[in-house]
Amino acid sequence: MPRDRSTQVHPVVERLAAYAWRLIVIAAVLAGIVWILGKLWVVVLPLVLATFLTRVLIGPTNWLKDHSWPPALAAVSVVLGFLILLGAAGGLVGVAVGQQTDQIGPTVSQSLDDIENWLVDDGPGDLTHADIQKARHDAGDWIKDWFRSSGSALASGVVVAFEVLVGIVLGLIITFFALKDGERFTGWIVSTLPVHRRDETRRLARSAWATLGGYLRGAALLGVVEGVIIGGTVALVGAQLAVPVGVITFLMAFVPFAGAIVAGAIAVLVTLSTAGTAGAVIVLVVAVIVQQFDNDLLAPVIYGKQLDLHPVVILLAITGGGAAFGLAGAFLAVPITAVVINMVAEYRRIHGLTLQSVEDGALDEPLTAADIGAD
């Protein structure tokens, strides 16, 4: 007996409904993961810190191991050496920055006042001081709320500082064990997987590890280049706070695209207040040229395919990370996004290669360790 056409669902609607409930389930799972990570931030922080430190320090540690150093001695030597170098560099920069840090806030505020007076007196729009003051007040409240969201939902003030301190100590301890026993630990994890998934897992892990390393090296190198050029330009035009501007520019390089805009704006505002309009224009031009040079020439060479992300993807990642986890989320959004995208691409390459090889009759078994090494 034929079905009543009035009770039939259009195939398009049926397909959309099938996708819709699956997407809702995926979104709910992702929201649950974000909520759990937020609650366990005191545990997540040391793990993230240890991952980054291990990626930075694994090279010298492996070099020492290759020269017959015991794993424990190599790991502790590299960690202690890193802390000594970090303390020495921080001390040198701190002396230069500390003498001028207290001037950054008043200087930026003064430059904003100058811009406000220009907009009211000579600007193209019909603005009043009250309109601009309201906009500045609203922006200040938004920035305060955004920074406040970086802390724990259940803690504030001294408690947050204590959590960060504990997270750093735990991160260093985890880093030591990761450098000492990392290969054994990863080998154990792989051994728990089904045999036909082990090679695939190794390739995905290698892709993630290479992407993270490329991001850290690239961001540090670009930060040094941008910090030296922009900070040097600020000094050459006769403005103050050149060293703090250079340090801020270096740190902002770890937030691609958006960080460069923030660092450039601070450099221009500082120069405008301490060296006048002509100097600010010169710094603005240099900042734009440097950013274009880095984005169009240096970044593709330094990052290569490791961080080949469209600016829109970067902005969405930073916005989502900042909304979910505050300042820390904004810093971590880009490397995490790059790692996920590259792992997905590697997964597709693995299965595309395997499928094509089977169709050609050249591969009857999953990829072996020798095949992976050949890549």
pLDDT value of residue 153: 43
**Residue 60 above 60 pLDDT?**
yes
Is the C-alpha dihedral spanning 275, 278, 282, 287 positive or negative? positive
* Residue 308 domain-assigned (yes or no): yes
* Residue 313 domain-assigned (yes or no): yes
Q: What DSSP string runs through 95-113?
A: HHHHTTHHHHHHHHHHHHH
Pick the more confident residue, 19 or 127: 19
Average pLDDT, the chain: 76
**In this structure, what token pair is assigned to residue 252?**
């902002």
Q: pTM (2 decimals)?
A: 0.66
Q: Which domain range does residue 261 map to? A: 194-375
- For residue 278, what pLDDT band results from cuts at 50, 70 and 90? confident
Q: Convert 62-85 to b/e letters by CB count within 10 Å (16 or more is b).
A: eebbeeeeebeebbeebbeebeee
* Residue 332 domain-assigned (yes or no): yes
Pick the more confident residue, 9 or 220: 220
pLDDT value of residue 79: 92
Q: What confidence tens digit (pLDDT) does each residue in 26-54 have? A: 888 888 887 887 777 778 888 888 999 99
Distance CA 360, CA 324 (A): 47
**Residue 105 above 70 pLDDT?**
no
- For residue 358, what pLDDT band results from cuts at 50, 70 and 90? very low
Residues of the chain with pLDDT > 90, as a percent, come to 7
Contact 338, 52 (CB under 8 A): no
H-type helices in the chain, by residue range? 11-39, 41-66, 71-98, 101-121, 129-148, 158-191, 195-236, 242-252, 258-293, 299-303, 311-360, 369-374
As a residue count, the chain comes to 375
Name the nearest CA neighbour of 253 among 225, 223, 231.
223
Q: 34-42 — which CB contacts under 8 Å span 24+ positions?
A: 34/324, 37/325, 38/153, 38/324, 38/325, 39/153, 41/152, 41/163, 41/325, 42/152, 42/163, 42/166, 42/167
**Residue 325 above 50 pLDDT?**
yes
Of the chain, the end-to-end C-alpha distance in Å amounts to 60
Least confident of 3-17, 38-52, 232-246, 279-293: 3-17
Element (H, E) at 78: helix 71-98
> Which residues fall within 8 angstroms of residue 49, CB to CB, at 6 or more apart?
167, 168, 171, 172, 174, 175
| CA trace torsion 74, 207, 227, 279 (10° rounding) | 180
Name the nearest CA neighbour of 274 among 98, 100, 111, 97.
111
* Residue 76 domain-assigned (yes or no): no
**In this structure, what token pair is assigned to residue 102?**
């207290």
**Residue 194 above 50 pLDDT?**
yes
Count of the separate structural domains present in the chain? 1
* Residue 71 domain-assigned (yes or no): no
> Which residues fall within 8 angstroms of residue 100, CB to CB, at 6 or more apart?
240, 241, 243, 244
* Residue 59 domain-assigned (yes or no): no
Q: What DSSP string runs through 61-73?
A: HHHHHHTT--HHH
Contact 221, 293 (CB under 8 A): no
Q: Which amino acid is at 52?
A: F
Residues of the chain with pLDDT > 70, as a percent, come to 69
* Residue 84 domain-assigned (yes or no): no
**Residue 307 above 70 pLDDT?**
no
Q: What is the mean pLDDT of residues 294-303?
A: 68
pLDDT value of residue 117: 66
pLDDT value of residue 176: 92
Distance CA 33, CA 149 (A): 18
**Residue 106 above 90 pLDDT?**
no
Distance CA 100, CA 294 (A): 28
The 3-state DSSP class for residue 122 equals coil
* Residue 354 domain-assigned (yes or no): yes
Pick the more confident residue, 299 or 287: 287
Q: What confidence tens digit (pLDDT) does each residue in 238-273 have? A: 887 788 888 888 888 887 767 788 888 888 888 877
pLDDT value of residue 372: 38
